[in-house]
Structure 1
Amino acid sequence: MAFGIFDFLSLIGALGLFIFGMKVMSDSIQKVAGNKLREILEAMTSNRLLGVLTGVLITTMVQSSSATTVMVVSFVNAGLLSLIQSIGVIMGANVGTTVTGWLISQLGLGKFSIASMCLPIIAIGFPMMFSSREKLKLWGEVLLGFAILFLGLNFMKEAVGGLQNEELLSFVKNVDYAGQPYIKQFFIVLLFVAIGTVLTIVVQSSSAAMALTLVMCNEGWISFPLAAAIILGENIGTTITANLAALIGNVHAKRAARAHFVFNVFGVLWMLAVFPFFVNLIAGASVDIFGADPMKTATGIPAALALFHTSFNILNLLILVGFVGFIAKVVIKMVPSRSEDDEVFSLDYIGSGMMETPELSILEARKEVVKFADIVRRAFKYVPRLVTEMDEKKLRYYTDQLEKYEDITDRMELEISSYLSKAAKGELSSNGGHQVRSMLNIANYLERIGDIYLEISRNLTMRKKKKAYFTQEMRDRVAEIAALVKKSLDLMVENLEAYERDIDFAKAEELENEIDETYKRLRKEYIKKVESGKFQVRSGVYYSDLISELERIGDHVLGVTESLKKDNELIVEE
């Protein structure tokens, strides 16, 4: 029977239906879970076992290792997970994704096929999708996705059946693995590992690649050892999704994605060394468990392959879970920091767990507040550069950096406030209570400064689009007030680091007064220049807004100092 273009399209369509069903089911389960998945990830500590179990649980729930790894990469990018924590979750995701193989082998290709139940399942799920209750509607989508997934699998079986006599693919069916010497077997396995990698990269879904492999095995196309080799390749190919997601992320996100790649590739390498022995071991276990020898019976391969996939990933996890720190060092060398900006996207001192006492928690929070202030101080350098820089590429970079820093300040303020609120629920001394209130105020002021950075970035971007250019005199005036603001930010960080020791409140107030006086003088000059026609009105508006925003930064910096001063005075009184 000739395999024509229509048959080829039928196979691709069946694969597409399977992927679509998987996506609908996975997305709907994530929505049903709501924020629980994120809460599970956020609640993680540096405990490796907890991280691994989290990865297994979430991937089993959403039936997509790609969804888990992409979520992990985005959390690392936002600073919610450290590199060490992310590696544990990714390891667990590799084990969780093996559940898909069991579902397909037992429900789709086993003695009991769920294909006959797909239409009744759709009949139940479809009306649920029109429910006014959101949860019921989402569960309807889950059922619909589940049914479509197995319908796609059934169509895939039919489409693959049409390829049985196709000469073009005879080389796959006729590859003689068992009768070859060890060296030749090794290169044959390498070839099929490459096929599995490419297949997964092309379909962008390890579950879909796994399904296609299982169907081909069930139809007698591929022997068990070669199918196992394809599965190893799929383990490498699936890492591409996370690496693509990390392309737009920071250096930490890229490292998390590379860790996924390193973990999976290392697993494939050690498995290649013991491949013949391990395949025979799984084949023997399959005879005992399922009563079918995958080396002799094609229908026995899917279950054996699911067992191989799960056993391999669990063993790889057990071997490498103790080397998480080493993997982290490797990926840090693979993806070095390009600049200091790459090193500011995580909480260093506080996490979801509290210290033994609320007072110790306050000490940790204070360190985080100092780091927060230092981030705000360092971000300021991009503000004057936006005024003087003419290169479009650099301007875009500065704008992106300020937007990124604004997001970081929002996140840090939220995390620090949440942490301090938990600490405040404990038994705090009067002194501790004052410190909590002071740090909450300081975090709020720092977050507002981040908001002003974003306002400045957007206003100056709009100025560029409107072609409202600053004169050299305007730039000089901006540089003058910006230099004072920078001094006040530097002093703010010094005072926070000093805390109860050598805090220079007088100098902080003096700098703020100087910023205010400079702003008033520049404002008067600006009005006179506009009235005399020396400043263009459009450029003048952006200039006026900019110096006003710089003055507001000075106000918030003083707010930080005043909060610190008030706290210090209360401590002295007690």
Structure 2
Amino acid sequence: MLEEGFKVFTKGPLQTILKKATNKLYKSITAGALVTAFIQSSSLVSVITISFISAGLISLAGGLGLIFGANIGTTATAWLVAGFGLKIKISVLAMPMLVFGVVFSFRKELTLKGIGNVLAGLGFFFLGIHYMKEGFDVFKDYIDLSQYAISGFLGVFVYTGLGIIITTVLQSSSATLALILTALSAGQIEYENALALAIGANVGTTITAVLGSLGSNSAGRRLALAHLIFNVSTGLATIILIYPLARLVNNIAELTDLAVDNYTIKLAIFHTIFNVLGVLLMLPFIKKLERFLMRFFNEKTEVLDVSQPKYLNKAVLKFPGSAITSLLLESKYLYKKSIFKIVAHALNIHISDIKSKEKLNSIINRSNEDFEIDIEGLYYSKVKTIYGEIIKYASLVQSELNLSPKQIEAVTEIKIANRKMVEIIKDARELNKNITVVLNTENIHLQNEYDAYRKKLTKVLRVIYLFRTDNGNNESKYALKLKELKAEAKANTRQSNKSIDRLIRKDLVSAEQASSLFNDYTNVNDMIKKLINVAELLYGKIDSILEENEGDKKNT
């Protein structure tokens, strides 16, 4: 309930913080620690991070920093339980929280619903600690679990393994820590074994990241493996140093006048020390870890055919920001790798020529080779499948996630852009048929008209290429040029082509050729408008994709 509450209540700021705080390692570690301490869930931070890294919103290094920070932040649970939950009668606080929490959680307003889930979650958390403490106190009158204590390194390994199992079952290291601390306060487990259980809880929490990465791409799986390596390495280092660290905790207790038998606070100190120590030990190796992960999950070994989703996976559907970004990236990939290439080759123009600075007249004059492109086949083999996947994901995003009006508009624009891409392919197919015919004709007048069409489209493709390589800067000269070309195409659609009229009057083309010229004249102008529209929709700034629901938005 805490996780669900915070997803609603702090979704926008939370995701924005995690995204923007990853440009520097120290920032991402700090953000991961503070956010985890605040929301009491390293699991939620892990899921968000995997989702964001799968969508390409954050780098692997930034994701590693967030995961490292989350491990430090999770120590807040130990301090909350040891320093507060076990010191006062928190069941008095639990009941009002539960009452108001349950009432609010049934409200339709997302903000109140979120507050209700947070209050109810805290109420159950406090009530759970109270009942666990009461239960262990009663339990010890009948069975003393401390008699199963195992000393030495054998006990360390056995209880570490037990901590891993418990956390794997509970899917929450926070819940395991609460259980350990209440059992420790009731004298049901020995302090030494409790330390080992805490180590096991830290290792066991990686199962959430591993499970969350199953539906992810290689980027998400890299992060999950990094989480596993980090926690296992930290656990092994702590096991080796457990007795020196225990003595360090005792020294800190003496310096702070802490009671010798205040084992719950000591455990909280130990838990904090070994998590901070783990981060300090891993920092020098972070670059090597990053390189290893990049080699281990090498994208070249994966299917990267444009017909297969590159950015769309289950992990990105967790949050609106990552889902919309993935849809946008997948659409850009389709536009760049498939649509752009199909249109260029339909004109018998090489992509390298479009990207070059060579004059367009020169390119058109020497590009007389028939590329023999099968546009129909390319559509069915390269485009149709991924187009269907994009539309399916867009529909899932709109139906399963609570989107703000701007986010709904962004998804709609992405769907429109993809529909226009399919229309462009169909237009290119018709144009290519006539371009191919003209290559074999001796009518120089007809060739000149089609060369003019090819030049217009090649010019548009070049400006679009420059626009998208300029990061879709809406204020750039390329953006302004695209607007001019689009306005020109709109005007041409409404006007007759004087050049074709002249050819007809002078009987320089046949009636059939004139019909094709007029049809393709309209076709070319439509293609220009659609190509520019798609470029503007995909590469123009889609603002506020991370902006979440307004507080007064109804839950639908």
Fold in common (TM above 0.5): yes
How far the C-alpha of 1:274 sits from its partner, in A, is: 1.4
How far the C-alpha of 1:389 sits from its partner, in A, is: 6.3
Counterpart position of 2:64: 87
Q: Which of 1 and 2 has higher RCO (CA within 8 Å, sep 6+)?
A: 2
Which of 174, 183, 188 is residue 148 of structure 2 equivalent to? 174
- Quote the Cα distance in structure 1 between the aligned partners of 2:5 and 2:536: 49
Which of 160, 166, 175 is residue 208 of structure 1 equivalent to? 175
CA separation of 1:388/1:42 partners in 2, compared to 1, >3 Å: closer, same or farther? Answer: closer
Paired residues for 1:273-284 under 5 Å: 273-284=240-251
> Which residue identity is paired with 2:418?
G
Please tell me whether the aligned partners of residues 72 and 89 of structure 1 are also in contact (alpha carbons under 8 angstroms): yes
- Quote the Cα distance in structure 2 between the aligned partners of 1:175 and 1:241: 29
Please tell me whether the aligned partners of residues 214 and 302 of structure 1 are also in contact (alpha carbons under 8 angstroms): yes
Counterpart position of 2:270: 308
Percent identity over the alignment is 26
- Quote the Cα distance in structure 2 between the aligned partners of 1:137 and 1:218: 35
How far the C-alpha of 1:375 sits from its partner, in A, is: 5.1
Instruction: Give the match's secondary structure for 1:31.
Output: helix
- Quote the Cα distance in structure 1 between the aligned partners of 2:75 and 2:107: 33
Alignment size in residue pairs:
411
> Which residue identity is paired with 2:531?
V
CA separation of 1:162/1:370 partners in 2, compared to 1, >3 Å: closer, same or farther? Answer: closer
Counterpart position of 2:130: 154
How far the C-alpha of 1:222 sits from its partner, in A, is: 2.1
Instruction: Give the match's secondary structure for 2:256.
Output: helix
CA separation of 1:62/1:385 partners in 2, compared to 1, >3 Å: closer, same or farther? Answer: farther
Counterpart position of 1:251: 218
How far the C-alpha of 1:161 sits from its partner, in A, is: 4.1
How far the C-alpha of 1:480 sits from its partner, in A, is: 7.4
Which of 93, 106, 116 is residue 117 of structure 1 equivalent to? 93
CA separation of 1:225/1:494 partners in 2, compared to 1, >3 Å: closer, same or farther? Answer: farther
- Quote the Cα distance in structure 2 between the aligned partners of 1:446 and 1:144: 38
CA separation of 1:326/1:343 partners in 2, compared to 1, >3 Å: closer, same or farther? Answer: farther
How far the C-alpha of 1:177 sits from its partner, in A, is: 1.1
Counterpart position of 2:78: 101
Which of 4, 26, 45 is residue 68 of structure 1 equivalent to? 45
- Quote the Cα distance in structure 1 between the aligned partners of 2:139 and 2:26: 45
Measured against aligned partners, the alpha-carbon deviations of 1:93-152 in whole angstroms (never above 9, x if no partner) come to: 111111111111122223x23123322444555666677976456434433321221111
- Quote the Cα distance in structure 2 between the aligned partners of 1:275 and 1:493: 64
- Quote the Cα distance in structure 2 between the aligned partners of 1:227 and 1:137: 37
Which has the larger displacement, 91-100 or 137-146?
137-146
Which of 189, 195, 208 is residue 241 of structure 1 equivalent to? 208
Q: Is 1:450 paired with 2:412? A: no
- Quote the Cα distance in structure 2 between the aligned partners of 1:135 and 1:232: 36
Please tell me whether the aligned partners of residues 424 and 527 of structure 2 are also in contact (alpha carbons under 8 angstroms): no
- Quote the Cα distance in structure 1 between the aligned partners of 2:59 and 2:292: 15
Please tell me whether the aligned partners of residues 331 and 390 of structure 2 are also in contact (alpha carbons under 8 angstroms): no
CA separation of 1:456/1:208 partners in 2, compared to 1, >3 Å: closer, same or farther? Answer: farther
CA separation of 1:370/1:312 partners in 2, compared to 1, >3 Å: closer, same or farther? Answer: closer
CA separation of 1:133/1:160 partners in 2, compared to 1, >3 Å: closer, same or farther? Answer: same
> Which residue identity is paired with 1:272?
I
> Which residue identity is paired with 2:18?
L
Which has the larger displacement, 550-559 or 51-60?
550-559
Please tell me whether the aligned partners of residues 29 and 69 of structure 2 are also in contact (alpha carbons under 8 angstroms): yes
Counterpart position of 2:531: 557
- Quote the Cα distance in structure 2 between the aligned partners of 1:318 and 1:107: 28
RMSD: 5.1
Paired residues for 1:253-272 under 5 Å: 253-272=220-239
Counterpart position of 2:197: 230
How far the C-alpha of 1:165 sits from its partner, in A, is: 7.0
> Which residue identity is paired with 2:276?
I
CA separation of 1:496/1:310 partners in 2, compared to 1, >3 Å: closer, same or farther? Answer: same
Instruction: Give the match's secondary structure for 1:35.
Output: helix
Counterpart position of 2:283: 321
- Quote the Cα distance in structure 2 between the aligned partners of 1:262 and 1:490: 51
CA separation of 1:493/1:277 partners in 2, compared to 1, >3 Å: closer, same or farther? Answer: farther
